[in-house]
Structure 1
Amino acid sequence: MKTADDAIRRAIIEDYRVLGEAPEADLQGLVQLAATVCGVPTAVINLIDDRFQHQIAAVGIEPAVCSREDSMCAVVFRKPGHTVVTDASLDERFAGNPFVTGEVANVKFYASSPLITPMGVPIGTICIFDEVPRELPEDESAALALIARQIVDVLELRRISRELGESNEQLENFAAQVAHDLRNPLTALTGYIELAADVPEVADLPAASRALARAESVADRMSGMIARLLDYARVGGSPIRRTAVDVEPLVASTMEDLRSAGEDNGAEVTVEASVPVQADPTLASVLVQNLVGNAVKFAGTGGRLPRVVVSVGTVASGVRIVVDDNGPGVPVAERELVLEPLERGSNAEAPGFGIGLATCRRIVESHGGRLGIDDSPLGGARIWVVLPSA
């Protein structure tokens, strides 16, 4: 049975973009180092998703792909620390495995160290093995753990370097568009609100005064968010000020704003938030506004009554925010596309400029987290976010 953690692991592995490629020189060097230091003929770097084990670099065998069910490392990679087995044919976890029985290989000695991402997600192993039983001295065991950390460092460096190269131009365009399309009209709107509030006839009408005060508060909050996001996009990220943030009031505020603007589409919104998230309060507010606003907007297309469920709970790697809707969903082929700036996919019926989800992903990644899109049990889209708990 696939789990939420499997979906997160799959997304992280795909983001490294090493599957199906020739072994990276740095990774090949590290796997060779593991074999040499530990004195074994075979060493392999494995990435393990929800279906397969991918050998992305190897010494002593040709890198290949096998099913997760046949993998020895899949049995232990999610557990912390090392696994050392002197003779796998005598270990009940591995005795019937095809890599041990001779069907695929004749492994006796087996040892592995998990590959743990900065988010705390186990994605695979560095493993060593031999066809004869043996022990693993303490110093060699420590070296294997160090090599595992170096492998993750190489994968992260590749990902960050690639994303920086791809995103610089997009961020500059994004900042310019936000400045032109939002900041100037908002400044004018704030001025008109202040002028209206000073009119004596308006001041004598309590309902009008309250409406203007509410509008001014919303405009001020929007101005602050826009200014922060502009700085964030231009310089590559302002310092993140993490604190415990309760998601439920952010959802309530978002829906109040949508109702005030006549854009709530009569949506039924349910919140199931059992834990706070550790995040920058301003950016968390923008994140929730975009996620919930998008769900209400797209679920309301086609004349349907939108239903949105926001849930927050813990997973192994941190806190997970899920926004489910009963809209048309996002086709699998477009799920990466709609996370890019100015991209809306094939659903052109709903209004918008295609910057909401791109903003969300950038906010999430600035916190060291991940964002993905799946099918929702409500029939539409499920947008999930995982933020590290620390």
Structure 2
Amino acid sequence: MSTTASTTASTTAGTTTAGTTTAATAGTASAGATEDARREAELSAYEALTRQPRRELRALTELAAVVTRVPMATINLITATEQHQVAAHGFDASICSREDSMCAAILHETEPVVLVDARLDPRFEHNPFVTGELGDVRFYAAHQLVTPEGVAIGTLCVFDTEPRVLDDHQRLSLQTLADRIVDVLELDRRTRQLTATLARMRRVQRELERSNEELAAFAGQVSHDLRNPLTAVGMALALLREELEEAGPENDAVGQASWLATRALSATNRMRELVDELLDYARIGGDLRRTEVDLGEVVAEVLADLEGPLAHAEVSVGALPTLHADRTQLRALLQNLVANAAKFVPEGATPVVDVSATRLDGRWRVEVADRGIGVAEADAERVFEPLTRVDTRVEGSGIGLATCKRVVNAHGGEIGLQPRDGGGTVVWFELPDGSAD
């Protein structure tokens, strides 16, 4: 081979080698950064660097020293830049840079590292903890602390200023203690998670108790304010019907009045039944009396009851399913939704009410849509809270949508509202497939 060819080949080979080395270095750096990020996430979850060390960790560190008969032991947790000694025996715990850490150098090892004399190991012959700059470590043994997710977060380390040898029993004991340290950290994390969950459950329970107390008080008030007047109206209509029937059916005007009285009495009785059962529901949590309920029939009854408010409304009703549900409560739900759709409209506007249903994956979705004044996005959840009125221009108690939510929740469903394209609101509720045929 000529000198020129040889030089060219050497240069090409050198370039290729350099390129390969650069790519390998970049890949290693990327993998290291990823591992550091996983380690930081695990350490953050354990809160091991921000909380006082548990006495169990100190006890395990002392036990490691006793079992191995080595004067010094520590638990080292390694971050991207530092080594933290969170528990120590035989010396004062401290923090050092990751560059100086002996344990950081063996963190990626898959097996424990046991060195009779660290000065003889190329990895540590220039380490400041070996050379005398920061320490005089001779004997060194470390076992990685590996989390259940497979992330090495640090080590259980024992060391001495004199060379030593560990027997097989001592090596196995060191491994066992390292595993128990991870168990302690995991137990501490799970305990904190469970404590936080219990605290949230207690808050929810207190809120439910408060809501139940409010509902019970409200039910008592409604019982007094609605039941007695309804009874009086029903008795008056019954007497009126008797008087009209006695006047004779030959008079067309009397016959028409008798028919109207009968219809009004029927509506009053249904309303009294509705109030009684809804009050029971508010008091005792709503025991459901499930039957096969034809929503089409229920909506027809609702439209008949709301004939006055809907006199000038444009109402459309699509095909509706038959549900296995509590008829009285679904009727209350739909009566509230339809009444709201007709009530909350701009002054002078014609109410528009559209009722439809759609079969979704494992559930039915029923929608009651209007062209009314709408609900602000900020109030979309608040309107379902008891006694909440977001628009005081329209009369109401603020209990209607809260009752709707209780009915839907009792059936294992969900309820919500959203803006309607072109203006207005769509209030929807979904019932799981087990509630529908």
TM-score, length-normalised on structure 2? Answer: 0.51
- CA gap of 1:215–1:328, structure 2 versus 1, over 3 A, is same
> How many Å apart are 1:342 and its aligned residue?
2.0
> How many Å apart are 1:163 and its aligned residue?
4.8
Write the mapping of 1:146-161 to structure 2, written as runs, cut at 5 A: 161=205
Distance in 2 of aligned mates of 1:60 and 1:323: 51
> How many Å apart are 1:130 and its aligned residue?
6.0
> How many Å apart are 1:60 and its aligned residue?
6.5
Of 416, 419, 428, 1:372 maps to: 416
Q: Could you tell me which residue of structure 1 aligns to residue 297 of structure 2?
A: 249
Distance in 2 of aligned mates of 1:293 and 1:278: 24
Distance in 1 of aligned mates of 2:305 and 2:277: 20
Q: Could you tell me which residue of structure 2 aligns to residue 230 of structure 1?
A: 279
Q: Could you tell me which residue of structure 2 aligns to residue 31 of structure 1?
A: none
Write the mapping of 1:52-67 to structure 2, written as runs, cut at 5 A: none
Distance in 2 of aligned mates of 1:234 and 1:274: 30
- Preserved contact between residue 269 and residue 309 of structure 1 (Cα < 8 Å): yes
Write the mapping of 1:90-105 to structure 2, written as runs, cut at 5 A: none
Distance in 2 of aligned mates of 1:348 and 1:202: 48
Other structure's SS at 2:401 match: helix
Asked whether 1:171 is paired with 2:215, we answer yes
- CA gap of 1:163–1:387, structure 2 versus 1, over 3 A, is farther
Distance in 1 of aligned mates of 2:292 and 2:433: 10
Counterpart code for 1:212: A
- CA gap of 1:383–1:129, structure 2 versus 1, over 3 A, is farther
Q: Could you tell me which residue of structure 1 aligns to residue 260 of structure 2?
A: 211
- CA gap of 1:60–1:268, structure 2 versus 1, over 3 A, is farther
Of 309, 320, 329, 2:374 maps to: 329
Other structure's SS at 1:328 match: coil
Of 324, 333, 341, 1:295 maps to: 341
Q: Could you tell me which residue of structure 2 aligns to residue 240 of structure 1?
A: 288
Q: Which has the larger radius of gyration?
A: 2
| Long gaps (5+) in structure 2 | 1-36, 47-147, 152-193
Q: Could you tell me which residue of structure 2 aligns to residue 349 of structure 1?
A: 393
Distance in 1 of aligned mates of 2:355 and 2:44: 47
Distance in 1 of aligned mates of 2:371 and 2:310: 14
Counterpart code for 1:221: R
- CA gap of 1:378–1:220, structure 2 versus 1, over 3 A, is farther
- Preserved contact between residue 324 and residue 378 of structure 1 (Cα < 8 Å): no
Asked whether 1:192 is paired with 2:241, we answer no
For residues 78-107 of structure 1, give each alpha carbon's deviation from its aligned partner in whole angstroms, at most 9, with x where no partner exists. Answer: xxxxxxxxxxxxxxxxxxxxxxxxxxxxxx
Other structure's SS at 2:318 match: strand
Other structure's SS at 2:359 match: strand
> How many Å apart are 1:286 and its aligned residue?
0.9
Other structure's SS at 1:329 match: coil
Distance in 2 of aligned mates of 1:382 and 1:61: 44
Distance in 2 of aligned mates of 1:235 and 1:219: 24
Q: Could you tell me which residue of structure 2 aligns to residue 258 of structure 1?
A: 306
For residues 158-215 of structure 1, give each alpha carbon's deviation from its aligned partner in whole angstroms, at most 9, with x where no partner exists. Answer: 7963552341122112202221221111000001001101113376522112111111
Distance in 2 of aligned mates of 1:157 and 1:371: 22
- Preserved contact between residue 357 and residue 367 of structure 2 (Cα < 8 Å): yes
Counterpart code for 1:319: W
Counterpart code for 1:313: T
- Preserved contact between residue 196 and residue 202 of structure 1 (Cα < 8 Å): no
Distance in 2 of aligned mates of 1:159 and 1:315: 34
Q: Could you tell me which residue of structure 1 aligns to residue 426 of structure 2?
A: 382
Q: Could you tell me which residue of structure 2 aligns to residue 267 of structure 1?
A: 313
Paired-residue identity, %: 42
- Preserved contact between residue 341 and residue 355 of structure 1 (Cα < 8 Å): yes
Write the mapping of 1:72-91 to structure 2, written as runs, cut at 5 A: none
> How many Å apart are 1:129 and its aligned residue?
6.3
Distance in 1 of aligned mates of 2:206 and 2:347: 39
> How many Å apart are 1:246 and its aligned residue?
2.0
Of 317, 321, 340, 2:385 maps to: 340
- Preserved contact between residue 296 and residue 325 of structure 1 (Cα < 8 Å): yes
| Long gaps (5+) in structure 1 | 1-40, 43-57, 64-127, 132-150
Q: Could you tell me which residue of structure 1 aligns to residue 326 of structure 2?
A: 280
Counterpart code for 2:232: A
> How many Å apart are 1:378 and its aligned residue?
4.7
- CA gap of 1:158–1:379, structure 2 versus 1, over 3 A, is farther
> How many Å apart are 1:312 and its aligned residue?
1.3
TM-score, length-normalised on structure 1? Answer: 0.57
Distance in 2 of aligned mates of 1:251 and 1:232: 21
